[in-house]
Every structure is written in structure tokens, then in C-alpha cells.
Structure 1
Amino acid sequence: MRTVLYDEHVKMNANIVDFHGWDMPLYYESIIKEHMYVRERCGVFDVSHMGDIFLTGSGAEESLMKLFPSDISKMKEGDCLYTAFLNNDGNMIDDTIIYKFNKEKFLCVPNAATTDKILDHILKNKTNNCEVKNSSSELSCIAIQGKDSVNIMKNLGLKFPDFFKFYEEKGMIISGTGYTGEIGCEIIIKNNEAVNLWEKIVDDLKKIGCGPCGLGSRDTLRMEKGMLLSGQDFNSDKNPYEASISFIVDNDHNYIGREKLLSNQKPERIFRGIIMNEKGSFPRHGNLIYDESGKEIGIITSGSISPILGKGIGLGYINRNESKSDTSILVGIRDRKFNGKVSRPRIVP
């Protein structure tokens, strides 16, 4: 599958890779260079592979209250909310952002690899008087991230949205959201208007020495900020307490998986960050974590180099009693163990 911006990526000599069935740019020039665009000034991402599922009707809010551990009724019109779909065991199927237009219209944005699974989950569990429409093939999404995104939006003649708020203008849905830990926004737009918007943004970025960014830098950016990656940091096998996002749970209503989740609020292992101490030690998914005596105490689920720290970093699950920040640990990489320390999931402040 390809987004409508695929030809634009090819024109810019992007390195294209298969990402869950989508031909997407991994990088244009280099992952580190594109990472620094966002941390220092601004970059733009094609995230049109993400899903777009609308729920409408008098039963829309009731359906979402059943589907999520978060209390959707507390959302105001124009709010965005980060939360997660749970299975009957209280484990996360996927994380998502919810947009509330009004009490009878909501948008869910699931991850690319799980859109079909989430659509099926919604259809099986929605209440009466709730219509569900998968608009994923009709819409594109462009993410402008970094402090200069304010100026880029100004040049486009668009108001910069408040954090986790959204508004509609000229058929676009413009939200103060992102996956980089920086100030930024995401623009959901009709497919036939996406190329023109992309070209304008890229032209403006070139004027300040920046440009488009691929999935490679999106991954390193989110890792530095401790953001979960669906299918890698969890895969229907971790609950919000394990994943250190208990803030999404509001137990004052009934939702799928509630009873199981209530019985597992203090799991044995929790999601934490890892900072490596030795040069050339870059953790990878599946690497084991050990205490200083060599006892296994956890596992890495995401790992790379941090361009900001100039060190290897990782995210993963570690025994609760070994999870305090600055605790010394070892990570098994290839055939030896490397020194590191525990941090909060948000590794780079």
C-alpha cells in the first residue's frame, strides 16, 4: 500500500521500506539529521498510513465509554485524548487518540498495523445507535513537528492549535498532537488536497535549512520521550499499569477488561527507560536486562541511539523493585553484557 504522498517521497530520493504493508520513507538524507530538524527547528512527516475511524450517532459516546478505560464523557468539544483499546484481559490492543466533535461524533486514530483489527473490535462491541465509518482510505495526515511549526502554520494561513485540542478549517482537521515530544500539530486532510499542502510545507522548511522526515527519526524521537510503539512495546500482552500509562484509566465506569485490570494494578514488571554507559552499546528489541549480579530482571522492547545524548537508549519492562531511576543494570547485546542505568520512560526531558 502507498499513501498519496508516495510519489513526493520518491522525487526526494527517500529510502523506502515496507512498514506493515505500507511503502513508507525511512529517511531522506539521514535519520540523525532528520531527528535534529525536529529537536532544533522543525520537520514534516507523512503519517497518512494511520487509521481514521469515525463513530457517530446518539450511541457514539456510550460505545466509547464501553471501549475505553478513559472517561470519554469528560471530554469537551474540540478535545483530543490519548487512550487505549483493551481486550477482555485488560491488556492493550492498541493505543489511539480520540477527537470529540460533539456528543454524537468522534474520531479514533488507530495505528496503521492495527486499523483493521480495531475496526472489527469496535463493530463487535459498539452499542446501539452508533454508526461506524472507516475513512482511512479517503484521508491523509501530515505532521509538522518542532518549535518552528508555529511559523510554518502561520505561513500557511492557519491558526496553531492548542495542545491536545483541534479545530476544523477548509475541510481539514487540525490538532495539537504528535509523536515526537515536541510542540507541533497534525493535519488530517482529504487525499486530493494533500500533495499541495505537503509541497508548501516542504518549501517553507527548506528556507530554514530543514525538510521532510522519515519513520526512522520518528522512531528515535518517540523513544527519547518514552512513547510506546504499538506492536513492539506492547502487543495485546501488557496493561496500562505495566506500560506506565495508568493516567488513561478512570475506573468510575464499566469498560471492556475492567475487572481483570483492577486485579493487576501492581504488576511485577513496569515500562522504563534505559541509558547505556558504554560506547557502541545500542540495545535492540528482545535484549535481556540483568542486575549487577547477572540475574535477569527485564527485557528491552525498543532500542536505538539517542542523537541528543549520543548514547544508546532503550525502553522496556523491568522488575518493579529494580525500576528506580539511576539503578545500575546490564543489557545483553550480542555475546556480552553492557553497563547502563534505569531512567523514567521519558529519557530526554
Structure 2
Amino acid sequence: MKQTFTVAALISGLLFAAGAGAQEQTVRIGHVGPITGPDAHMGKDNENGARMAVEELNTKGLTLAGKKIRFQLQAEDDAADPKQATAAATKLVDARVSAVIGHLNSGTTIPASKIYSDAGIPQVSPSATNPKYTQQGFKTAFRVVANDAQLGNVLGQYAVKTLGAKNIAIIDDRTAYGQGVAEEFAKGVKAAGGKVVANQYTNNKATDFNAILTAIKSRKPDVVFFGGMDAVGGPMLRQMKQLGITSKFMGGDGICTGSLPGLAGAGLGEEQVVCAEAGGVPESEKKGMDDFRAAYKKRYGIDVVYNAAYAYDATLAVAAAMQKADSWEPAKYLPELAKINYKGITGNIAFDGKGDLKDGALTLYTYKGGKRTLLAVTK
């Protein structure tokens, strides 16, 4: 059958199509972490978590302020370097992102936070734990994990009270994260009645630790604590084994990864390593995390390395605040983010007046048979 079109109908159709197109709004969410350098496996892991959240949001067809929203992740690399971090932050501000998930490291998160604050853009870190990040007074700074004061204190108390350590050696990599968690660990040790018998320092790109480990060995410590990341902690464990140091090896979430066994090799030992992750869910809520890990592996073909679930939750919490405010504009939804009460797979997300996570959980792990094994979830 032959179809006929009137001019009026054609114009009406064109106007409808134009109107429909105008109703879609792209909302950019920034993510920054190290995609190159020794921490790249962690940075990519966080980015993957944020990307999963964005993809999920786009399947829901959300509407804000009468417009259909399409979220877009703009990912930047800071290589765990403060200068690159501020450059990446400036780039995201210029791109007019509505929020930033990141950065990974405290040493990059802190300098970048002022740039986001000046621009009024909310920043939610899924992994930066140095207390200084949220002590600057920026209303735009948030984190979805416990901070080093909590983590370091728990580890210090555990070393003395549970492991029975009396003499403890501390090494840190002089980064904002490594030095910060080591200082908080030392406070926990002293509060529990333990003694720090050695303090040594390295850097986050070092590979040779023989000099500092030899100096530590002479002090016969029960525990060696390392403030730093797994890319350094793994080789350090290898060299401890070569030098015959059998002390327990402790660290924060920087070493508490699925990658540590491969990096440490035979130096990993059996239940020699005890570490804490800033986050964790009790057994009763474990299914959500297990489901996320399965979905992550299906999406990327690899296991979760680090804090991907926290980046995922951070992204969804931001989107929830936008929905409450019915706006993607930072100035409008920021007040809703500050008072958010969002049930995520990593636990409940709500912030105190500084932007720290309320009642942040910590998870203690060891390694058995080359695999990370749960010890306890605590607060």
C-alpha cells in the first residue's frame, strides 16, 4: 500500500526527533589512578570497578531534571605521581566532570583534592587512607574506606595482643600513605605495650632492601611492619627469606592484595603475613561481595585485585545523591552526597562532617597455601 506524508506530519516528526535527542544528557564521571607504573594493577582494578558501575547505571535509563541521563567514565592516569595527579585533576575540571572517583594513592589524592575543591566538584576516593585527606576542610572530599588512624591502630594492637610481639621493626616507603600508616601502626604498638626497636625507610620504586633488612635482623624483631604497596612488599619478603628473617610480616591494605603471592614467591611463607584491608563485610553480607567478584571476573576475565568494589560503590553512591537532588550539577547534589545513606555491597555508606566513612570496617587477612585467607572483620 502506498504511504503518503503531509508536510505538517513530516515537520512534526522532525521536531519530535530533535526534541527526543535534546532530552539526553551526558554526565561525565572522572576516575583517576595509576594505570602505568608499579601500582598500575591496582589503579586499573579501581577503574574497572567504576566502569562496571557506570555500565550498570546506563542500563537503568535514569532521568534527572527531565532528561534521560547517559553516564560516561573519563579515566585518567596519574602514575601514582603527585604532579601527574594534579595535571589529571585539572584536565577533569576542564572537561566539566560532575564527580571524580579517585585517586588511588593518598600521595596523589591529597594534592588533587584542592583542585576539585576549588572547582566545587565532589571527589570520592575508594582507597586513599591518609587522615590528612579529609582534615583539610574541603566540603568536596569523601572516602568510602576507613582511614589509617583506624587501620594502623588495629594492626598495632593485633601485633602485640594477638601475635604476642614484643619487639617490632618498622619500614615505610616515605609516601603519604606508607609513612602515614606506619606512624599510626607505631602508635597502636606503643598503646598496647609493645616496643619499636627499629625504623627504616625505602621508596616506592626500590628493589634492593638488603642493607635495611640486615640492620633490622640484628635487632631480632618478632614483627616487621611495612608501610607501602605490594609491588615493594613482595620483593622485600623474598629478600627477608634469603636473609633468614622469619619474623611475621605486617602491613596495611597496600600489601593486602591478591597479587602479593606472585610478587613475594617463596618469601610469602605460610601464615607469615598479616595485613588489614580498609573495608570488609561480615559473613552475613558476604553474598553481595561474592556476586560482585563473579561479575567482575565475567566482565574482565581476571579476579579482583584490590578495591574495585569500593570504586563501584563510590560511583553508585554519587549517582544516588544525584537522584535525590534530581540533578547532576555538583553544587546541587553535593549536599545530598554529604548526607547520603547508601547501602552498598561493601557496607553502608554514610559520611561524617569531614567526609570520612562512618563506622568503617577493617578486615584482617593472612595467606595460606598461597591464597589470601580471612582472619576477622572488625571496627
Structure with the higher strand share, 1 or 2: 1
TM-score by length of 2: 0.26
Structure with the higher helix share, 1 or 2: 2
* Higher Rg: 2
